[in-house]
Amino acid sequence: MLAGAQIRALRLRSSYIEISNILRGRSAWPTPRHGHLRTPRLFHTRICLLEQTPRELPSFLETYKKAVDFPPATHDFESFLSQAEPNTEVVLHGYLGHRADLSKKLSFVRLTDPTMQHSLQVIAFAKNDAFDKLKTLNAHSPVAVRGTVQRKKGKGTDPSDIPAQDAWELALQEIYPLNDFPKEIIMTTETVFPPEQRYLQLRSDTELREALRFRARVHNLCKQELEEQCQPPFVEIETPLLFKSTPEGAREFLVPTRRPGLAYALPQSPQQYKQILMASGVPRYFQFARCFRDEDLRADRQPEFTQLDLEMSFATGDDVMRTVERVIRRLWSSLMKDPAPDGPFRKVSYQDVMAKYGSDKPDTRYGMEIIRLEHALPVDLVSKISPLLDPIVEAFKVEGNDNDPAETTKFITQFLDSPAGAPFNNNPDGGPGVFVYNGKQPLCGLQPFGFEVAEQVEDLLEPDHGDLIILQARPRAPFSGGSTPIGDLRRSLHSAAVASGFKPAPSGFDFLWVVDFPLFSPSSDSEPGQGGTAGISSTHHPFTAPKSAAEVDRLLTDPTQAVADHYDLVVNGVELGGGSRRIHNAAVQEFILREILQMPAERLANFAHLVDALRAGCPPHAGLALGFDRLVAVMLGKESVRDVIAFPKTGKGGDDAMVRAPSPITEEALQTYHLRLRE
Amino acid sequence: MLAGAQIRALRLRSSYIEISNILRGRSAWPTPRHGHLRTPRLFHTRICLLEQTPRELPSFLETYKKAVDFPPATHDFESFLSQAEPNTEVVLHGYLGHRADLSKKLSFVRLTDPTMQHSLQVIAFAKNDAFDKLKTLNAHSPVAVRGTVQRKKGKGTDPSDIPAQDAWELALQEIYPLNDFPKEIIMTTETVFPPEQRYLQLRSDTELREALRFRARVHNLCKQELEEQCQPPFVEIETPLLFKSTPEGAREFLVPTRRPGLAYALPQSPQQYKQILMASGVPRYFQFARCFRDEDLRADRQPEFTQLDLEMSFATGDDVMRTVERVIRRLWSSLMKDPAPDGPFRKVSYQDVMAKYGSDKPDTRYGMEIIRLEHALPVDLVSKISPLLDPIVEAFKVEGNDNDPAETTKFITQFLDSPAGAPFNNNPDGGPGVFVYNGKQPLCGLQPFGFEVAEQVEDLLEPDHGDLIILQARPRAPFSGGSTPIGDLRRSLHSAAVASGFKPAPSGFDFLWVVDFPLFSPSSDSEPGQGGTAGISSTHHPFTAPKSAAEVDRLLTDPTQAVADHYDLVVNGVELGGGSRRIHNAAVQEFILREILQMPAERLANFAHLVDALRAGCPPHAGLALGFDRLVAVMLGKESVRDVIAFPKTGKGGDDAMVRAPSPITEEALQTYHLRLRE
């Protein structure tokens, strides 16, 4: 009969076997089978182990022991290449490649260095243990190897022609296995790993790892430009992440505290702290700031993201724009194929980009500019295009391919029949009016316009044989928001044209500042706004200054017409960042919050610290934030910011699929924070 | 009778008066008095304003309009100094100093530049508007000034002797008030502002602003050393802050999501992500990482803090220590009076520092080393010192001042009677035994030891006339935790000695690595540990590797005796940082979590991502985190990290007194996150 301690020892040993089995097989994380073992303390168990199994160390611990004491590398790969001498002994670290067994007595294997940027040939002869050990190791396993340096046989070629990394090889003397790469994981450059295995995505994708290094270089260049090239220099200052809820426009994450009913909020941006720095005698601030928005996850949004945040005192928007242009120029000239175009980036007003491109972040590289047309159109044509009374009708032209109307017709038909076309077809204000200009047809295919209007359309759009003309109606109202239906159509149609090969992909970078945004926009249910009751919200945030003295007057006469000193940096249809001059006067800030936005008292109180800081003689100031993830993605030509973030959230709910976050709140944690779940 | 709109317009105007009053007076943030005005939309209000009050712009808006269009500075201060030419016109920005009115027609005022590092004399003559305008402006107000450069009258001295900033002055031509610094705020270099007015603390305290610039320099030097001087270079990689709850040792903040019952957790450190990077083919990582701990606020702890976090693959603890020494050397040689001492920092084991200094982060600069004494002591003496049976008794000597026993007696009496002495007097294991060595007394004051033991004590401690000998008992048990009672007494006594002038403050920096910590420590209620049921917890975190193959054996035989490959960098009694080699083998990691710590299944599952990453052939790796706030504080000789953080939490509950965070969670937010408050 076994004593209790003996039984426990046996059970413990059987669990090692279980673990080893799992390591050999593909099993997922094992579920524990011996919960009843938890109560006896390990102190007891170890005594019986000492007595019963003094020498029976489980094999995985034996393996691990050997990996603990491994020889240090005598060289990193780069210093090896510059210092290699034949017949010297070196130790190198790295990952094994796939072994090629040339005979029973000779094998080749490449050793990839720890940076995974270089590799070296290793030759193993069946003259020592190392040869046998090598044969037990899987490709991709980390190892330390000791070997003798030898010049690679040149097959008669001139050795100076051989790239350094192919000039040398290592005759294997000893190999130290450091860990085992499981046979079950097939890892080639083609393997697609799921987000749960981000480490394998990173390990197998050179481009992804290179993107992270590139990102660090972008970071450093921005920093250098601001710290070393600007006078006075910018100073990097960290601001708190445990902030408080002060609704500026997006939804904030809360962080409950152990004090009942009290919580911090994670900041949407360091906006208020950086303004307070300006009131604190700090002339120029920047920070790579982590920001948080509890929004639904879109392709280019993450619940947490990084922005290059900066602010300058005694400065106007123009000063900020000049500074940011310097940074962009530095990045492009240092890291990109072509430098950014000379001269200041052009400034286009919000009204103009909305009219011309139907977007406040237009891709301006491919024409397809929008014009107003309703003044020229016969009433009956308008009524065919839209059910709206007196709508605005806009149009743009898509140049055809090879002057072939049939090709154009095929393209537009496919687009409108595709899922991408559905929202445009289903527009309750009328779908797009589509005309293929065709010299072989009566009125070149423009009969619905009638003779006179067709001529006007030709004058305005100057179509060629095979070109496409698109009409779209919208309600008669001032521009608000980020795009119009025809702007969305322009963008969507162009993407489809590029994807289908109907149009070449545009190249280069066309930077512009979109300026003169309205200071306020009508509140809507979809945007949380600032919680005022005036029916309007700040278009960007309530700290944005009016553009000029004349716009200050409008605050009283017609705030909805007031123009903001806000500027967005746009390139190729992407908003890289935005900024503004801020209200630096306490009374004006208070007036905006209280009288214009009509914030209730409790919301006003949320901004007291900022107003108090402005009141203490704060100088004028302006700033900007560049979306850093997006900037890097644009520079690398990546569609998604996920390709430039080491561990992005990937799921629709903002999931980190790898670590499986968010995760269930425990009852204990709820108690700690004086909370309860609602049903 | 007034129409409704007219009433509203009048009310709106009256509220401007209210605001202006507040600006003139000292009133706190005004409570809104016209909540009933919220419902009518501003669109209505503005129409009546247009009709009723077309020209009556409130005065604060008129003032603001003038501040909106201010001339750009022609020079920053430094370029002004290098380019100044007499009789040229310049525009400078800055803050006004206190005006000195020399006569009715002549005033002097200094202009401090936006960086607040330089200033310049401005002379105003009563020949233009600027003179009158200047007289209306308060000191510290931000302004733009236009003036004519003139050489300052040299009073006969050689102009080349005059510092550049005193060589020039400006004859005022125009002044543009940009904001008003309130008269009510008295700001001198002596004014102490409360934490609520951090902006005024920063604005008035040159040293505090300089600390922020110094911090940025430290940041940059660390970065340069890691990126440019190490081969292969370290790469800065950002890791997520919306992480998940995986108990490592401290309490985590939770971030509820809109998915019922699910939350992120803010990371205590990027530990797991950086280890996963090591499994991802990234050889060397670093990051200035924001970390979070929901702990009670102590002088040197903040709920959020910054650490310089780094990790290296194919590396051992020694590799990491060498790297960190490089960084420290670079900092000291670049920024400090004296470079760090030559040669590798010495390594002292946890057992040794605990025995010698009674602390795992000792200040090693002032002697007072502890020795064991109980073997020499008579039983009756021990029983006088402590109620414990067979205790350990330790002792140290404090060298006296001027060989004056009376002075020494006075010092120790004052200490023990002070609040600082209370915890030692009240030690349930016995208070300190205090002896003043006095050549004029029988047995030199050591009678209680008896003749023979007194001689032994003299041999061991070699006291001089006037020295202090302290004895302290503790229970017979292995060292655990960060200090012993006698270690606390040593530290506390030394601080008091320095504060009272009994001892000089020690100078210089004595760096050491504390190594060979126990891998596991007994669990206690005060430390959350890792939630296992084994009665022991990882001393640091459960990813720490055993120090050597021999220590791996102990995992089975006696885990409490196993030594960890953990190392703390300590200087002058401050723990600058700590790190370890990590367990890089999935089976061993799993064994530690499951078998040694006996974690329940749900906790084990929390670490699945890390174990999975290790399983994918992760190389050996080691790393460290330096407490960045503390590092900067130590370099600047600051007692508190608050002096090197722009916006520290100051209250006991982790309050940001300035923005008033944390703040009440609204019912709306609770609903969003499917939460309810507990009663």
- Report chain A residues whose CB lies below 8 A from the CB of B545: 68
Q: In what order do the strands lie in the sheet containing B468-474?
A: B371-372, B392-398, B468-474, B433-436
| CB contact (8 A) between residue A115 and residue B647 | no
CA distance, residue B359 to nearest chain A CA (Å):
27
Closest-approach residue (CA) in chain A for B181: A617
Residue A217's closest CA among A119, A113, A331?
A331
B356 reaches A (C-beta below 8 A): no
* Dist CA B165 CA B118 (whole Å): 7
ipTM over 0.95: no
What is the DSSP secondary structure assignment for residue B428, as one 8-state letter? T
* Dist CA B381 CA B457 (whole Å): 13
> What b/e string do you get for B507-537 counting C-beta neighbours within 10 Å, with b at 16 or more?
eebbbbbbbbbbbbbbbeeeebbbbbbbebb
- Report chain A residues whose CB lies below 8 A from the CB of B58: 591
Instruction: Provide the pLDDT confidence category of residue B326 given band limits of 50, 70 and 90.
Output: very high
Residue B502's closest CA among B399, B365, B639?
B399
Alpha carbon separation from B519 to A273, A557, B493, B542, B565 (Å, rounded): 42, 72, 31, 9, 8
Instruction: Provide the pLDDT confidence category of residue B34 given band limits of 50, 70 and 90.
Output: very low
* Dist CA B335 CA B323 (whole Å): 18
Q: What is the pLDDT of residues B332-369, one digit of tens each?
A: 999 999 999 889 999 999 999 999 999 999 999 999 99
CA distance, residue A173 to nearest chain B CA (Å):
19
Euclidean distance between the first and final Cα of chain A, in Å?
Answer: 53
- Report chain B residues whose CB lies below 8 A from the CB of A69: 548-549
- Report chain B residues whose CB lies below 8 A from the CB of A191: none
Q: For the purposes of burial, counting CB atoms within 10 Å of the CB of B459, is it exposed (0-12), middle (13-18) or buried (19 or more)? A: exposed
* Percent of all residues in chain B with a pLDDT value above 70, rounded to a whole number: 88
Phi, psi of B626 (to 5 degrees): -95, 130
Nearest to B232 among A76, A266, A673 (CB): A76
DSSP notation for A277-302? HHTTT--EEEEEEEEE------TT--
Closest-approach residue (CA) in chain A for B296: A258
Write out B44-95 in H/E/C secondary structure: HHHHHHHHHCCCCCCHHHHHHHHHHCCCCCCCCHHHHHHHCCCCCEEEEEEE
* Dist CA B218 CA B333 (whole Å): 12
The per-residue pLDDT for B530 is 67
A217 reaches B (C-beta below 8 A): no
Is the separation of the CB atoms in B596 and B575 below 8 Å? Answer: no
Nearest to B598 among A42, A180, A182 (CB): A42
Peptide bond into B303 cis (omega under 30): no
Report strand pairing: A235-236 vs A106-112: unpaired
* List of chain A residues with pLDDT < 50: 1-54
| CB contact (8 A) between residue A615 and residue B235 | no
* Dist CA A513 CA B472 (whole Å): 72
The per-residue pLDDT for A22 is 36
| CB contact (8 A) between residue B276 and residue A199 | yes
* Percent of all residues in chain B with a pLDDT value above 90, rounded to a whole number: 74
Closest-approach residue (CA) in chain A for B199: A280
Structure-block tokens of residue B587: 């089976």
Instruction: Provide the pLDDT confidence category of residue B535 given band limits of 50, 70 and 90.
Output: confident
A676 reaches B (C-beta below 8 A): yes
Is the pLDDT score of B297 beyond 90? no
Region B454-472 average pLDDT: 94
| CB contact (8 A) between residue B241 and residue A290 | yes
- What's chain A's length in residues? 679
What is the DSSP secondary structure assignment for residue A483, as one 8-state letter? B
The per-residue pLDDT for A652 is 76
SS3 A204: helix
* Dist CA B218 CA B645 (whole Å): 13
The per-residue pLDDT for A298 is 61
Residue B661's closest CA among A590, A670, A275, A255?
A255
Phi, psi of A349 (to 5 degrees): -75, 155
Residues in Cβ contact with A347 at an 8 Å cutoff, skipping those fewer than 6 apart: A321, A512, A513, A514, A515, A567
Alpha carbon separation from B176 to A226, A545, A621, B125, B579 (Å, rounded): 28, 18, 15, 16, 55
Q: What is the pLDDT of residues B558-595, one digit of tens each?
A: 999 999 999 999 999 999 999 999 999 999 999 999 99
| CB contact (8 A) between residue B555 and residue A294 | no
| CB contact (8 A) between residue A662 and residue B259 | yes
Euclidean distance between the first and final Cα of chain B, in Å?
Answer: 52
- Report chain B residues whose CB lies below 8 A from the CB of A16: 591
Nearest to A646 among B239, B257, B616 (CB): B239
If residue B621 lies in a helix (H) or strand (E), which one and from where to where?
A: strand B621-627
B574 reaches A (C-beta below 8 A): no
Residue A223, CB half-sphere, CA atoms under 13 Å: how many?
A: 18
A261 reaches B (C-beta below 8 A): yes
Is the pLDDT score of B187 beyond 60? yes
Question: What is the distance, to the nearest Å, from the Cα of residue A45 to the centroid of all Cα atoms in its chain?
Answer: 50
- Report chain A residues whose CB lies below 8 A from the CB of B536: 42
Structure-block tokens of residue B202: 């920063």
The amino acid at residue A349 is S
CA distance, residue A566 to nearest chain B CA (Å):
14
Residue with tokens 């292969």: B232
Phi, psi of B303 (to 5 degrees): -65, -25
Is the pLDDT score of B30 beyond 60? no
If residue B590 lies in a helix (H) or strand (E), which one and from where to where?
A: helix B586-591
| CB contact (8 A) between residue A236 and residue B259 | no
Residue with tokens 């024409």: A367
The per-residue pLDDT for B603 is 85
The per-residue pLDDT for B273 is 97
| CB contact (8 A) between residue A585 and residue B200 | no
Peptide bond into B71 cis (omega under 30): no
CA distance, residue A199 to nearest chain B CA (Å):
4
A46 reaches B (C-beta below 8 A): yes
A239 reaches B (C-beta below 8 A): yes
A280 reaches B (C-beta below 8 A): yes
- What's chain B's length in residues? 679
* Dist CA A500 CA A14 (whole Å): 60
- Report chain A residues whose CB lies below 8 A from the CB of B248: none
The per-residue pLDDT for B288 is 98
Write out B173-230 in H/E/C secondary structure: EEEEECCCCCCCCCCCCCCCCCHHHHHHHHHHCHHHHHHHHHHHHHHHHHHHHHHHCC
DSSP notation for B493-556? HHHHHHHTTSSPPP-S--EEEEE--BSEEE--SSS-TT--SSSEEESS-TTBPBSSHHHHHHHH
The per-residue pLDDT for B161 is 61
A17 reaches B (C-beta below 8 A): no
The per-residue pLDDT for B597 is 92
Is the pLDDT score of B157 beyond 70? no
Nearest to B678 among A618, A669, A676 (CB): A676
Dihedral angle, C-alpha A306, A308, A314, A316, nearest 10 °: -100
Instruction: Provide the pLDDT confidence category of residue B251 given band limits of 50, 70 and 90.
Output: confident
A276 reaches B (C-beta below 8 A): yes
The per-residue pLDDT for B128 is 83
SS3 A619: coil
Residue B175's closest CA among B80, B109, B115?
B109
- Report chain A residues whose CB lies below 8 A from the CB of B253: 242, 255-256, 264
Closest-approach residue (CA) in chain B for A608: B29
Q: Could you tell me the domains of chain A? A: 4-66 (no CATH), 77-177 (2.40.50.140), 210-347+515-644 (3.30.930.10), 366-505 (3.30.1360)
CA distance, residue B46 to nearest chain A CA (Å):
6
Region B653-661 average pLDDT: 90
- Report chain A residues whose CB lies below 8 A from the CB of B43: 535, 560
Is the separation of the CB atoms in A317 and A581 below 8 Å? Answer: yes
Helix, strand, coil in percent for chain A, rounding step 5: 35, 20, 40
- Measured at the alpha carbon of residue A49, what is the angle toward residues A46 and A55, in degrees to the nearest 5? 130
B31 reaches A (C-beta below 8 A): yes
Instruction: Provide the pLDDT confidence category of residue B197 given band limits of 50, 70 and 90.
Output: very high
* Dist CA A36 CA A43 (whole Å): 16
* Dist CA A485 CA A489 (whole Å): 6
The per-residue pLDDT for A522 is 84
The per-residue pLDDT for B6 is 41
A66 reaches B (C-beta below 8 A): yes
* Dist CA A517 CA A520 (whole Å): 9
Q: From the CB of residue A11, how many other CB atoms can be counted at a distance below 10 Å? A: 14
DSSP notation for A256-276? E-SSTTEEEE--S-SHHHHHH
